[in-house]
Every structure is written in C-alpha cells, then in structure tokens.
Structure 1
Amino acid sequence: MLVLDGKIASAAIKEKLQQEVALIVEKKQRIPHLAAILIGNNGASETYVASKVKNCEEVGIESSLIRFESDVDQTTLLNKIEELNTDANIDGILVQLPLPGHINEQKVIEAIHPTKDVDGFHPISAGKLVQGMQTFIPATPYGIMLMLEHYNIQPKGKHAVVIGRSNIVGRPMSILLSSNTKYGNATVTICHSHTPNLAEICLQADILVAALGKPGFVKANMVKDGAIVIDVGITRVEDNTAKKGFRIKGDVAYDEVAPKAAAITPVPGGVGLMTIAGLLKNTLQAYQQHQ
C-alpha cells in the first residue's frame, strides 16, 4: 500500500515554483502577488489562510492578508474586491469561504476578475474548464491531479468514482479525470446524497475520490481491493484527548480502508497540502498572464 504523501509531493512542486520566482527576482521584475480576504474569526479559515500566506512566503510570492469583521456589509467587501481587481500589482485574489450568511457567496465569486480568479470558482473559469481551455482550475482538484502526476498514477481506462458534486471539488474533479489529457481519460461516475446504490458503485471504483464532508463515511466494505483512494475530507471533530481539543478527520475510515487500497491519501498530510500547491501554481500562472 502506497501512502500518497502530500508533504512530499507539494514540496517538489514548491521547489520548482521557488526556482521560477527566483528567476523573476534575478531579472529584477515585479514579484507575483496574492491577496487573500478573510472575514470573521472562523478557526478553520484562520488556519487555512495562515498556511496559504506561509507557503507564499516559502516560494517567494508576495501576499497580502485583508481582514474584515464578520458583520462587514456586502457592499464594502465588493468595493474592496473591485479595488484589488484594478490594482496592477495584484495577480491573484481569493476570498476565504465560507462567508457569513448575510453575504451572497455567488456575487462575491463573480466580483473577482476572471484574470485574478486563482481559486478557479468564477463561472468563466468553470466554463473554460468544461471546454478544455486553459484556465484557473479550482485548487483542490488541481492539487489532486498534481498528486496523481507526482506519483505517476494514470487514470486512463480506469473507472473513477467521485462522491460529492460541489462546484469546488466534485464537479471539476470529474471533468479533469475524464478530460483527454495524460492524467485524465478515466470513465467517471459522480455519486451524491440521492445516489441509491452508493456502496455498490464505490465497489466498482479503480479510483475513489471522497469529497462529501462526512468524517469516516467511506468504510472498507465500500472499497475494492487495489483501489486508489483520494480523501478530500477535512473536518474538525471534537476530541478532549487531543491537545487542541479536536482532531482533523477525513471522509475515509483510514485505518480500515488503507489495508485494502493500492494507494491512499492520509488526512491530514494529503490533499490539503496539495490544494495550497495548486493555489500557488495558479498565482504564478496569473502573474505570467499579466506580464
């Protein structure tokens, strides 16, 4: 059983990015710049954004963190996004989700200019992805594809099952795995909350991607021997025995599924780290397009 270690794969990607940014510095050109907007004090969001800022610093990408209180009004937020859209020194903009209930998430996503949409959530980015055009790929699916590439796992001819149909992970993941590319060409089935025979379909999967946000949902009886299991789940579960009072759990019951799998991603230490690698690659791509 191969552990698909996100730390190793992301380190290799970050090393290449670091070299590319170093060349930019050597040429005395403007350094790539990512702007992140964080609203409120959600613990998970704080952790994610801090990690993104830290990783930018490690590869030499400049980053700005813009904070708003949780009661910020939508107009103020949209005005800030427009200011960043018109700032020639900003290459990428991300607004950390989820947003407070009084803010329309879709309006915020659409407010980010498509050329700075490093999260890949804008409808224009999504449309280009569907049509196989160059675009910003949502960071988590992009990170998963980068992981498959790093470990030379080729989905061609395999049956891939994706559990979850979100615009952030499930749907773009299904498009990437079925695309006519070196690390695509799989036959893809998408499952969701209304799939009646979910376990039966999962048992057919050569590649199983779990992205539904339910800790430990995928059990051993849902995975066939020799499957490749990609766990996208990252949920904080209360645990009084843990130092922080919680543990991070994936959507896959790792201990019982791992012995059956040919390869599996751990949580933490798997897809989460690759998501940040995908975001960094998108930011450099945005910079290159602006240049």
Structure 2
Amino acid sequence: MTAQLLAGQPVAEAVLADVAKRVEALATHGITPGLGTILVGDDGPSAGYVRKKHETCEEVGIRSFHEGVPSEATQDDLLAAVDRFNQDPDVDSYIIQYPLPDGFDFNEALLRMDPDKDADGLHPVNLGRLVLQEPGPIPCTPAGIQAMLIHYGIDIAGREVVVVGRGPTLGRPLSLLLTLKQTGANAAVTVVHTGVKDIGFYTRRAEIVIAAVGVPNFIKPDMITPGAVVLSGGITWKGKRLLADVDESVGEVASWITPRLGGIGPTTVAMLLRNTVQAAERRAGIAA
C-alpha cells in the first residue's frame, strides 16, 4: 500500500481565500485586521515561523505588527510587550511565539494576554470556550488538522482516533476539539504519551493516528494498522532539516499520510489568520 498525501497547501489556500474575502468585507466598515507577533530571542526556526506569518498577512491584506524581545531581556520586558499589544487598538489578535528561551515564563505571559486578542487560542478562557463550544479562537494546529481531514473527505464521526502527545499547544486541545459534537469531530479519542509503556497497543487499533510528541520518526510502520490515516503534528529541527514525528516508511502501511514537508505547517498559519479576521469581525460587530 502506498499512502495518499495529505498536503497542507491546498487546505491553507482554501482557508486563506476565505480570509481574504472577509478582509475585503471588513474594509467596507473601515476596518483592517491586525495581527501582532512577539518573538523572544533569535532562534532561527522561530524567527522563520514569525517571518512566514507576516508574509502571509501581507498576501491577504492583514496588517502585521511585531515586538522583538532580546534573549538577554527580562520577564518584565516580555510582559511589557504583551501589555502594549493588549492596549493597541490596531492589533486585533497576537501571538507569543513558542517556545521561549530559558528564563522566560510562557504561562505568565499567556495569562497576561487579553483573551479576546489571543490568536493562538491557548489562553485558559479560550480553552474553556472550546470545551463549552462557545465562539472563540480555536488553537491553530488542532484547527488545521481538523480542516485537513475535512478537506480530504476523511470522516471522523464515530471513528477511533489516537492522539500521541498531550502538550498544551497540540495534543491536549486537539483531543478536546475532535470529541465535540459537531462537523469534523464527534470521534472516540484516546490520548497516549511517552509515559505509556506500549503505545503501539493503542495506535494499532486506531483508524486515525495523530502524532504530537516532537520526537523524530517516533511512529513506525509496526505501530499502524493497514489502511489507517496518519498525521504528523509534531516536528523537530535537526540542524536545518525538519523531521516529523511519523517515519516516512509509515506511508507503506497507511492509506493517507502527511508529507514530511508541507503537511500541517501551512494550515497552522492559515488558521492563525482566520482567528485574526474573526477577532476583527467581533470588533466590527459582525457575526463570524
């Protein structure tokens, strides 16, 4: 069996086309959405992610703003940048690029954010909104994974999904999202992690496996039942090479698989911009 590829770019392009139309509609109300980014330090991959977000903003007509915090700065400097974005009326939503260098407290900065300006959907208020199925920003990578499954016609409702990883930015919110009673969800979700002795026991019975551990090539072919759908949400940089959680040889067993490059990444950026335009629509009093 040779798996079909779950390419992220076509999904991202569809989302961004919708975002661009909504940006045009907001312009008739005199509003241009604004996305802010806070980058602490000069980590290469993080800086690249931030740069890509700003480039994509320009493509769809969203203004972008940036706060750089040097790695030798203090936690108070980071919190001051958060306060500036909270108070800036031109910034509808913003992110604190994760992970932060040693010595900085991401959770404290996250809690300092105005939850209505939380573009990543990770503030506890917004995770609570997700649980209650109330309107609010949905965490971007989980939302991108869901959009990808919907785009390729992969039914989720009632199917057994195993999420490998329980991190606060991906595994945990994804498991919540896919259990909701709504389109593109309503699954039977099991969450396992590296503390589980036999992860393969769970992944081999799953119809859909989503890896979110950040360990290169963690998911091997013998952990997958033939015909399963396999997505890699976690990534690791080895020098300049990006490695996925799912070994590429899994494509010989799975029916669908994300590619090592061009998988979840483009959809994550697209969902960030969707959250931003939704925040601007709320500011304009337009139902999203």
Give me the TM-score of the superposition, normalised by structure 1: 0.94
- The aligned counterpart of 2:279 is 286
CA distance in 1, matches of 2:17, 2:116: 25
Deviations 1:123-162 (A, max 9, x none): 1111111222222111100111111121122211110000
Unaligned runs of 5+ in 2: none
- The aligned counterpart of 1:241 is none
Q: Which moved more, 1:10-19 or 1:279-288?
A: 10-19
- The partner residue of 1:247 within 236, 241, 250 is 241
CA distance in 2, matches of 1:211, 1:80: 30
Q: Structure 2: which amino acid aligns with 1:17?
A: V
- The aligned counterpart of 2:63 is 62
CA distance in 2, matches of 1:201, 1:102: 37
Q: 1:24, CA displacement in angstroms?
A: 2.5
Mapping of residues 139-154 of structure 1, within 5 Å:
139-154=140-155
Confirm or deny: 8 A CA contact 1:207 1:227 kept in the other structure.
yes
**SS at the partner of 2:99?**
coil
- The aligned counterpart of 1:99 is 100
CA distance in 1, matches of 2:217, 2:116: 37
Confirm or deny: 8 A CA contact 2:26 2:281 kept in the other structure.
no
The answer to whether structure 1 residue 14 and structure 2 residue 8 are counterparts is no
CA distance in 1, matches of 2:134, 2:23: 25
Q: Which moved more, 1:65-74 or 1:47-56?
A: 65-74
Confirm or deny: 8 A CA contact 1:149 1:183 kept in the other structure.
yes
Q: Structure 1: which amino acid aligns with 2:23?
A: V
Confirm or deny: 8 A CA contact 1:4 1:265 kept in the other structure.
yes
Mapping of residues 121-160 of structure 1, within 5 Å:
121-160=122-161
The answer to whether structure 1 residue 82 and structure 2 residue 114 are counterparts is no
Mapping of residues 192-271 of structure 1, within 5 Å:
192-238=193-239, 246-254=240-248, 256-271=249-264
**SS at the partner of 1:154?**
coil
Q: 1:28, CA displacement in angstroms?
A: 5.5
Confirm or deny: 8 A CA contact 2:65 2:91 kept in the other structure.
no
CA distance in 2, matches of 1:167, 1:68: 23
CA distance in 1, matches of 2:134, 2:25: 27
Higher relative contact order (CA 8 A, sep 6+): 2
CA distance in 2, matches of 1:264, 1:22: 35
Mapping of residues 166-181 of structure 1, within 5 Å:
166-181=167-182
Q: 1:176, CA displacement in angstroms?
A: 1.1
- The aligned counterpart of 2:112 is 111
Runs of 4+ in 1 over 3 A off after TM superposition: none
| Residue correspondences, number | 282
CA distance in 1, matches of 2:167, 2:81: 27
CA distance in 2, matches of 1:285, 1:24: 10
**SS at the partner of 2:155?**
coil
CA distance in 2, matches of 1:127, 1:264: 31
Q: 1:45, CA displacement in angstroms?
A: 0.3
Q: 1:15, CA displacement in angstroms?
A: 1.3
Q: How high is the sequence identity, in percent, across the aligned residues? A: 37
Q: Which moved more, 1:125-134 or 1:184-193?
A: 125-134
**SS at the partner of 1:157?**
coil
Confirm or deny: 8 A CA contact 2:166 2:193 kept in the other structure.
yes
Deviations 1:253-290 (A, max 9, x none): 11x11121111111210101111011011001111111
- The aligned counterpart of 1:182 is 183
Confirm or deny: 8 A CA contact 2:95 2:118 kept in the other structure.
yes
Q: 1:236, CA displacement in angstroms?
A: 1.2
Q: Which moved more, 1:1-10 or 1:41-50?
A: 1-10
- The aligned counterpart of 2:25 is 23
Q: Structure 2: which amino acid aligns with 1:221?
A: D
Measured on the aligned residues, the alpha-carbon RMSD in Å equals 1.2
Confirm or deny: 8 A CA contact 1:234 1:268 kept in the other structure.
no
CA distance in 2, matches of 1:66, 1:224: 46
